[in-house]
Amino acid sequence: MFRKILNTLFLLIFTVFIFFVSKYYFSEKNIIITNKSRSSYSLEINEINSDLPVLKSDTKNIIIYKDGLEDYKKKRKKWIWEDLVSSKNE
């Protein structure tokens, strides 16, 4: 009997806690405070970004493309059936 009363009490306390937390979270006051905080962070980030220098790009022509496919084809072992299906013999 005591255990059922205790469980009911815990359930009631938990339910009341969830109710008050959700009531505060979805209240207009909390929404306004959150929006003010977000906008102040946005303003700070814009101020910081305006002071950053823009660096010149030095990454042009940095990638060297190699045509290693032909070298690979010459070095690898030829199989018999490759000659049979190749279009060079036609």
Give Cβ neighbours of residue 38 (< 8 Å, ≥ 6 apart). none
**Measured on CA atoms in the order 30, 31, 34, 40, is the torsion positive or negative?**
negative
Taking only the tens place, the pLDDT of each residue in 21-79 is: 999 999 999 999 999 999 998 889 988 888 888 888 888 888 877 777 777 877 877 77
Per-residue confidence band for 14, with pLDDT thresholds at 50, 70 and 90: very high
Q: Where are the domains of the chain?
A: 1-52
Instruction: Please say whether the beta carbons of 48 and 42 come within 8 A.
Output: no
User: 10 pLDDT exceeds 70?
Assistant: yes
pLDDT band of 20, cuts 50, 70, 90: very high
Nearest to 30 by CA among 21, 43, 41, 19: 21
